[in-house]
Structure 1
Amino acid sequence: MGTIVEAQVPASEFALGDTVTAVPDASFETVRTVTAGTDQPIPFLWAATADFDRLDEALRDDDSTDEVTRLVRDGNHVLYRISWQARVRALGHFVAAEDGTLLDARLHGETWKLRVLFPEKAAMSSFYDTCRSYGVDIDVSRVNGLESVVRHGGTRLSAEQYEALSEALDADYYGVPRGSTLVELSDRLDVSHQAVSERLRRAHQSLIESSLHDGLTPDEPHP
């Protein structure tokens, strides 16, 4: 069964480590295109910073980049096309070697957050072992079965989080005034009210992150 992995990699061991040191307020996210089996992973990046001239210079001086082209500016964001040095391309090869697909990559602070789709769990394990063997300090934070992601509306919710949200909606928990309490939800789900509260908080966080990242993009300005 397909597996979606969420992982973190230090920028210093992957890409743009020099840039985030030189321009610490900069943040980056990929243009949301599926990248599979490519020699140049994440070729397009939206960047946000207070000083784009300084960022341009830092990107071109970064030892992980080969060629940097500023394509367009839209408000507080700039779109770059970047060709990478071998170190960055290597991780792309590690993904492709396991028939994986890089779905998403974001850099904020000094850490890249990646989402990778693998055809099966064994491929994910092999990818992880390869990264470690080459000295890449990758940290896997979440593993979801593809069936679960599709079944739960394409979100990053776990089955338990999805169930808790569904029950909360059915019980009018989000009504004003509330139509039910955490204790009543816990009775419906047959778990402690603390467990219900934790599942709802994590579900809310996942939905907010998905909405902000996938809905409010630089090319779709909102007031």
Structure 2
Amino acid sequence: MNGTDAADESSFYLDYETQLDATRDAVSKLAREVLQYEWADYLRRYPPTATHEWEFTDTGKPWGRITPHAWRLGREAGFDVHFEHYPTPRALERGQLRVELHLEDGIHGDADFEDGSRYSRLRERIYSELDAVGHDAHEQISGGRGTGRVIWQSDARFIAGDPVAYYEALRRTLEAHAVFVDVVTSALHHELQSE
């Protein structure tokens, strides 16, 4: 290999790395300035389902919360149940959406999931209600059970770098997980009546 070829090859790799860094910077900026702010507006225009009303919070952050209005009944008792997603530069760059169903303490911040605690009881009641809806409902739900405050987690793919594709994947994932709206609402009713 002569010196000219090595210099050309080094220049090619340096140009490639520079372009790659510029692309990553652009995607990161797009996620911070667009994705994190506009997901809620998109879902207000194109809601996940027509049968439920939704609340969208924590825009402008690397996470967002989505809560059906039906779950408000648990807030006064300290149960903060919501869907959470992560509109981060990494998610946009990779084209991978993560949606989690969370159960948190809506009063003090951190829920206690020790055996027999009110949060572990509600968590188990949610799983029991989900099992009671039957096999057909399970087939339409992707993902699986989580740990701690994460009741369920699901991943979806979308076209990397495209915020609208992210929003649409989020909307479709929420629609596919709509069974949780009724399941969690029922579990909350039962738990609140037993307290």
Name the structure with the higher strand share.
1
TM-score (norm 1): 0.26
**Highest CA radius of gyration, 1 or 2?**
2
If asked which structure has higher relative contact order (CA below 8 Å, sep 6+), I would say 1
Instruction: Decide which structure has greater helix share.
Output: 2
